[in-house]
Structure 1
Amino acid sequence: MNKFQALGLNDAILQAVADMGFTEPSDVQEQAIPVLLKDDTDIVALAQTGTGKTAAFGFPLIQKIDANSKTTQGLILSPTRELCLQITKEIQAYSKHVRGINAVAVYGGANISEQARQIKRGAQIIVATPGRMMDMMRRKMVDITEISYCILDEADEMLNMGFYEDITTILADTPETKNTWLFSATMPKEVARIAKKFMKSPVEITVGTKNTGAENVSHEFYMVNARDRYQALKRLADANPEIFSVVFCRTKRDTQKVAEQLIEDGYNAAAIHGDLSQNQRDLVMKSFRNRQIQMLVATDVAARGIDVDDITHVINYQLPDEIETYTHRSGRTGRAGKTGISIVIVSKSEARKIRQVEKIINKKFIQKEIPTGMEICEVQLMHLANDIKNTKINHEIDPYLFSINEVLEGLSREEIVKKVFSVEFTRFFNYYKKTKDLNTEVNAQIKEESGDSTRYFINVGAKDNFDWMTLKDFLKDLTGLGDGIYRVDCKDSFSFFNTDTEHKDTVIALFEDFKLQGRDIHVEVTKDTRGSGGGGGGKKRKGGGRKSGGFGGNSDKRSSSKKGEGRNRSERRGSNTSGGKAPFSGKRRRRDRD
């Protein structure tokens, strides 16, 4: 016997199940469907996002609806336009073999009169956002006084968004005889209050543990300085060439800003938030589902309608204000039995929030370090090798092989391989070869606060033809500390650097009477890293000094605070100035701007 058939579903719905390729019910479907079909009861079902909740209430609702009556019998409330449309489409798919069933989506941003006309023509099921439903009720465009079923989907998120009063007002206008089915990922106090006030002895179904994360999602966090957050995001993307992700920000402004930065830096990204029109949001989501977008930057509200399979990573660019919301975010990946990764980028001051999230999801986070530039280069090089290996040969080039072989005559196989890879790898290597280790930066800050690291001021800078790397090399060689020199920050006429505190006396003594090309070089302990200190400068040098590139070395003064990490736009994208393709970016193409 078919496992869905064993749940008690009728032939029409079973046919739709077969059409959609469903083979086995999910846990929440297996538990909820028999209860809802057998009894006229209220139910509270707690299950994570992506576990098949829509089918869990959609199948029983369709089977219980009287298709011969045009009266509205079922009302489904959902938090966002996207989710409202998604549920409506799924209800329509589930009921395709049931003649006469009509489901209408009611949401803001669309013509309210047209939505009212669709309901008037006969809509047994209305799927609505609370705000638009309230508006239609005030205008007396809809009658829900005779409904038999009211479903609250993503109840916790609706309440997080401030819809408590709207929901209670809507429920108060429905008959007491109706059944209320409440589906939620978490069970905060407000959801429990709704259940207590409007539901009668509800059956409670819990898939997993309350408020926990999905079992097949691993949780990682990366600690960086707050100013390095965007650079960390880019490195995580570059370290995962096949990334297909949702990046969460707290505000619409940050969402738009991060998306624009990613696009400008050559990534295949887009933003989705409440300030976009419905048409814009639809276009973005279509591109994301078609994988034309690899990094979708979203607010929590807008993301409620993202129902896309195979998302590899959820990246919390910023943790949500409400820690419980993290469960919803992480539920975007690891769907349909597949594995996923939820990443949090945190500053040191936010680290305590990780412990709070762990308590809520009942899972431990793994702390990882941001990949270094050379680690990313290795990943991208091997990714390119696999791409070449797996590329299907285009035999249209066969007529040109003789000419190609003539051009390459005299080159060994090894030389050809090196040259082919260098075409792409050189651009990527040039970008990352001078980038800082972001982990060293934050670890040094932690050491400073504990007294284990000391920050120094030195009166040389960019005017002396130093950049951070040549200054670091100069200090490493001079002090003999090697990688014991870190957090080098090169300003215009002065700079800063760190060593472990145990080397403080040695460093200060070394520069007590130190001259470079006849000029006194001063070093002193400081806590000022904002560039307000004085000192240094002198006349601008013209080369000379050390052959290895210290004083008078690299005079490349990049003003790249917007781009970050000191590479300009053409370097990031190579010679391709029109397409915006990042080195080794694979499918990471800039989306069309229509």
Structure 2
Amino acid sequence: MNKFEALGLEENLLKAIADMGFETPSDVQEKAIPILLEKDTDMVSLAQTGTGKTAAFGFPMLQKINIDSRTTQGLILSPTRELCLQITNEIKNYGKYCKGLNVVAIYGGASITDQARDVKRGAQIIVATPGRMKDMIGRRLVDISKIEYCVLDEADEMLNMGFYEDITEILSHSPEEKSTWLFSATMPREVSAIAKKFMHSPVEITVGGKNMGAENVSHEFYLVNARDRYQSLKRLADANPSIFSVIFCRTKRDTQKVAELLIEDGYSAAALHGDLSQNQRDMVMKSFRNRQIQMLVATDVAARGIDVENITHVINYQLPDEIETYTHRSGRTGRAGKTGVSIVIVSKSERRKISAIEKIIQKKFVQKDVPSGMEICEVQLFHLANKIKNTEINHDIDTYLPNINDVLEEFSKEELIKKVFSVEFTRFYNYYKKAKDLNISGDDYKEESKDSVRYFINIGERDDFDWMTLKDFLKDLLNLGKDDVYKVDVKESFSFFNTDTQHQEMVLSVFKDFQLEGRRVSVEISKDTGRRGGGERRGGRDRGGKRGDFKKRSDRRGSSDRGGNSDRGGSGDRDRGGSGEKSGFKGRSRRRDSSSSDNKGTGGRRRSRS
């Protein structure tokens, strides 16, 4: 008996499974499919991306809906256009022998009229992104009042992107008695809350552990100075000649900059971020899938929904704001039984985050050294040897061999080998022969610096800053490295940040008569210096400072104490994606550049070195 047949699937679905070459169900399929086929129930399924979740809910839905009816019976919500289209195509493949099946994808960036027409023809299953789905319901172009099954796929991602209100609105138009199936890689509080609100006594299945990393992924970190981050990235790429990777940066600006630097240095790279048009995004992804691009540099938001096979490495050029996001990043590799490597390039001030990630993924990181120049030369040399060894001979060259032999007849076999390999070896040798050691000792980083000064600054969320954009603003203005400005904590009308004591005089001097867009910006030493833990984080109270201190500061400036009462934190939780990519930063960046020629002239160069 076929192992899928043992799960209870019907013949037309088993036939499609055979055509696709599936032989053994994945863990999540083996656990979910029998339960969903047996009874109508709500379900919460926790499993990593790339573990076959689409089939886990797709096959049961196809088997349970009435294909002969034109009524919409199944709704699948997913976070991105790409994932929406991917799920739609997979469901169509699963149901290729279900005569009369109509699966319609609804997503932004395409004709809403065409999508409405496809639905009107009779769509038993709709796969949709929340934004476009809400829009179509509002226009009465879609009716989900009779759906029997609703899937929230990549639920944690949808909530991270700010879709909670859209999902709530969509589900309010669906029947109370439907079955809701929630699939998620992690189980943060927000996902638990949505499960409680929209589900009744759900069955919970877990593949691995909650928030755990994928089984086939190994985790490594490289400890370097922030200014050597890009050079470390290049060495890791050179030390892995067959690399096929996604490189994650926090912001659109860093993503574009890193991709441009890689391209300038001769690597096949491209950027994927929110400023790309849909057509540009499609072209980049097509090139990446075809392996014309080896290194895709992406933001977390733009990378959601990417499902590309055989990615060898995920490289965290910068760690994400939310540590849980690391699970999604690392899940891009090690799929479908393949092995993968997740790499973190970490600076001294970020070293402590590795331990926090280990607790979440329940796996240990291995600290490794960035390869030396000579190690890279050796790797490249043997890579070339194997490439030559495995190259299939093109016999069209045979007619030219006599003339080639005449040119090379004076050389022995050994000399020819040396010449052939010198073509590649010399290039790397000349580049790396004086390369410095980029590694730093794990003992060098400061868990909590005793020589640290905490400052108060009278700008915050109301000025379009979150902790990341304020940190970038400060390090550019003060001409400091990324690790030299830390513990940035943004409130509504004011903020805090730290530097080492050695920078104190310079910081206070820069802000002595400083104005931003005509407004006086002042900095002073904070009373809570050294007492506050936590570092750069989103939201929450400033646990070290006293709220009374905030009011006194605001009163001295003649402003209301809205920041002290709010204490909301500064990462833009309202901004979908939460990775510092909100429009306010873009405007803020332009305004800073126009008001300071120094920033404009030097900011890019400073960033390119980090």
Q: TM-score, normalised by structure 1?
A: 0.75
Cα deviation for residue 367 of structure 1 reads 0.6
Alpha carbons of structure 1 residues 231 and 158: separation in structure 2 relative to 1, 3 Å: same
Asked if residue 260 in structure 1 is aligned to residue 260 in structure 2, the reply is yes
Cα deviation for residue 164 of structure 1 reads 1.1
Alignment map for 1:426-437 (pairs within 5 Å): 426-437=426-437
Query: Highest CA radius of gyration, 1 or 2?
Result: 1
Cα deviation for residue 563 of structure 1 reads 11
- How many Å separate the matches in 1 of 2:196 and 2:316? 33
Cα deviation for residue 256 of structure 1 reads 1.8
What one-letter code is carried by the residue in structure 2 that aligns with 1:415?
A: E
What one-letter code is carried by the residue in structure 2 that aligns with 1:199?
A: M
SS of residue paired to 1:301: helix
Alignment map for 1:319-334 (pairs within 5 Å): 319-334=319-334
Moved more, 387-396 or 84-93: 387-396
SS of residue paired to 2:318: coil
Alignment map for 1:491-506 (pairs within 5 Å): none
- How many Å separate the matches in 2 of 1:430 and 1:412? 25
What does residue 26 of structure 1 align with?
26
What does residue 363 of structure 2 align with?
363
What one-letter code is carried by the residue in structure 2 that aligns with 1:357?
A: I
Q: Check the 8 A contact 1:265/1:563 in 2, yes or no.
A: no
SS of residue paired to 2:116: helix
Moved more, 348-357 or 278-287: 278-287
Equivalenced residue count is: 461
- How many Å separate the matches in 2 of 1:360 and 1:443? 21
Moved more, 422-431 or 205-214: 422-431
- How many Å separate the matches in 1 of 2:335 and 2:223? 27
Per-residue Cα deviation, 1:66-86 (whole angstroms, up to 9, x for no partner): 111111111101011111111
Per-residue Cα deviation, 1:376-401 (whole angstroms, up to 9, x for no partner): 11100110111111111222222222
What one-letter code is carried by the residue in structure 2 that aligns with 1:402?
A: P
What does residue 307 of structure 1 align with?
307
Cα deviation for residue 253 of structure 1 reads 2.0
- How many Å separate the matches in 2 of 1:225 and 1:311? 27
Q: Check the 8 A contact 2:217/2:330 in 1, yes or no.
A: yes
Alignment map for 1:502-521 (pairs within 5 Å): none
Cα deviation for residue 321 of structure 1 reads 0.9
What one-letter code is carried by the residue in structure 2 that aligns with 1:401?
A: L
Cα deviation for residue 60 of structure 1 reads 0.5
SS of residue paired to 1:254: helix
What does residue 206 of structure 1 align with?
206
What does residue 407 of structure 1 align with?
407
Q: Check the 8 A contact 1:153/1:184 in 2, yes or no.
A: yes
- How many Å separate the matches in 2 of 1:181 and 1:330? 24
Per-residue Cα deviation, 1:498-535 (whole angstroms, up to 9, x for no partner): xxxxxxxxxxxxxxxxxxxxxxxxxxxxx89xx9xxxx
- How many Å separate the matches in 2 of 1:166 and 1:318? 30
Q: Check the 8 A contact 1:149/1:179 in 2, yes or no.
A: yes
Asked if residue 146 in structure 1 is aligned to residue 150 in structure 2, the reply is no
What does residue 516 of structure 1 align with?
none
Structure 1 residues not aligned, in runs of 5+: 452-526, 532-559, 566-594
Cα deviation for residue 446 of structure 1 reads 4.9
Alpha carbons of structure 1 residues 450 and 106: separation in structure 2 relative to 1, 3 Å: closer
SS of residue paired to 1:56: helix
Cα deviation for residue 277 of structure 1 reads 2.1
SS of residue paired to 2:439: helix
Q: Check the 8 A contact 1:80/1:301 in 2, yes or no.
A: no
Per-residue Cα deviation, 1:515-562 (whole angstroms, up to 9, x for no partner): xxxxxxxxxxxx89xx9xxxxxxxxxxxxxxxxxxxxxxxxxxxx969
Q: Check the 8 A contact 1:79/1:304 in 2, yes or no.
A: yes
SS of residue paired to 1:439: coil
Q: Check the 8 A contact 1:72/1:147 in 2, yes or no.
A: yes
- How many Å separate the matches in 1 of 2:607 and 2:215? 37
Asked if residue 282 in structure 1 is aligned to residue 302 in structure 2, the reply is no
Alignment map for 1:122-133 (pairs within 5 Å): 122-133=122-133
Per-residue Cα deviation, 1:20-53 (whole angstroms, up to 9, x for no partner): 1101000000000011011011000000111000
Moved more, 149-158 or 116-125: 116-125
Q: TM-score, normalised by structure 2?
A: 0.73
Q: Check the 8 A contact 1:109/1:277 in 2, yes or no.
A: no
Cα deviation for residue 443 of structure 1 reads 6.9
- How many Å separate the matches in 1 of 2:155 and 2:442? 41
What does residue 249 of structure 1 align with?
249
What does residue 187 of structure 1 align with?
187
Q: Check the 8 A contact 2:349/2:445 in 1, yes or no.
A: no
What one-letter code is carried by the residue in structure 2 that aligns with 1:328?
A: H
Asked if residue 159 in structure 1 is aligned to residue 159 in structure 2, the reply is yes
Per-residue Cα deviation, 1:456-511 (whole angstroms, up to 9, x for no partner): xxxxxxxxxxxxxxxxxxxxxxxxxxxxxxxxxxxxxxxxxxxxxxxxxxxxxxxx
Cα deviation for residue 434 of structure 1 reads 2.0
Asked if residue 43 in structure 1 is aligned to residue 32 in structure 2, the reply is no
- How many Å separate the matches in 1 of 2:444 and 2:42? 54
Identity fraction in percent: 77
Q: Check the 8 A contact 1:82/1:302 in 2, yes or no.
A: no
Alpha carbons of structure 1 residues 43 and 412: separation in structure 2 relative to 1, 3 Å: same
SS of residue paired to 2:270: strand
Cα deviation for residue 278 of structure 1 reads 2.0
What does residue 81 of structure 2 align with?
81
Cα deviation for residue 273 of structure 1 reads 2.1
Q: Check the 8 A contact 1:12/1:97 in 2, yes or no.
A: yes
Q: Check the 8 A contact 1:28/1:56 in 2, yes or no.
A: yes
What does residue 94 of structure 1 align with?
94
Alignment map for 1:168-183 (pairs within 5 Å): 168-183=168-183
What one-letter code is carried by the residue in structure 2 that aligns with 1:430?
A: N
What does residue 375 of structure 2 align with?
375
- How many Å separate the matches in 1 of 2:299 and 2:198? 30
What one-letter code is carried by the residue in structure 1 that aligns with 2:424?
A: E
SS of residue paired to 2:36: helix
- How many Å separate the matches in 2 of 1:315 and 1:337? 20
- How many Å separate the matches in 2 of 1:390 and 1:82? 36
- How many Å separate the matches in 1 of 2:322 and 2:443? 30
What one-letter code is carried by the residue in structure 1 that aligns with 2:167?
A: I
- How many Å separate the matches in 1 of 2:444 and 2:152? 47
SS of residue paired to 2:297: strand
- How many Å separate the matches in 2 of 1:49 and 1:136? 28
- How many Å separate the matches in 2 of 1:389 and 1:432? 26
Asked if residue 62 in structure 1 is aligned to residue 62 in structure 2, the reply is yes
- How many Å separate the matches in 1 of 2:432 and 2:301? 35
Moved more, 148-157 or 161-170: 161-170
Per-residue Cα deviation, 1:346-399 (whole angstroms, up to 9, x for no partner): 111011111110010011100111111111111001101111111112222222
- How many Å separate the matches in 2 of 1:8 and 1:389? 49
Moved more, 394-403 or 313-322: 394-403
Per-residue Cα deviation, 1:111-130 (whole angstroms, up to 9, x for no partner): 11211111111111111111
Cα deviation for residue 200 of structure 1 reads 0.9
- How many Å separate the matches in 2 of 1:428 and 1:562? 26
Q: Check the 8 A contact 1:32/1:205 in 2, yes or no.
A: yes
Q: Check the 8 A contact 1:151/1:182 in 2, yes or no.
A: yes
What one-letter code is carried by the residue in structure 2 that aligns with 1:396?
A: D
Tell me the C-alpha RMSD between the 2 structures: 2.4
Alpha carbons of structure 1 residues 450 and 274: separation in structure 2 relative to 1, 3 Å: closer
What one-letter code is carried by the residue in structure 2 that aligns with 1:434?
A: K
Cα deviation for residue 9 of structure 1 reads 0.6
What one-letter code is carried by the residue in structure 2 that aligns with 1:139?
A: R
SS of residue paired to 2:237: helix
Cα deviation for residue 341 of structure 1 reads 0.5
Per-residue Cα deviation, 1:253-302 (whole angstroms, up to 9, x for no partner): 22222112211211111122222222222222222111111111112122
SS of residue paired to 2:314: strand
Q: Check the 8 A contact 2:257/2:608 in 1, yes or no.
A: no
Cα deviation for residue 15 of structure 1 reads 0.9
- How many Å separate the matches in 2 of 1:443 and 1:154? 36
Cα deviation for residue 445 of structure 1 reads 6.0
- How many Å separate the matches in 2 of 1:400 and 1:561? 49
Asked if residue 234 in structure 1 is aligned to residue 231 in structure 2, the reply is no
- How many Å separate the matches in 2 of 1:17 and 1:301? 32
What one-letter code is carried by the residue in structure 2 that aligns with 1:133?
A: M
Q: Check the 8 A contact 2:351/2:445 in 1, yes or no.
A: no
Cα deviation for residue 407 of structure 1 reads 1.6
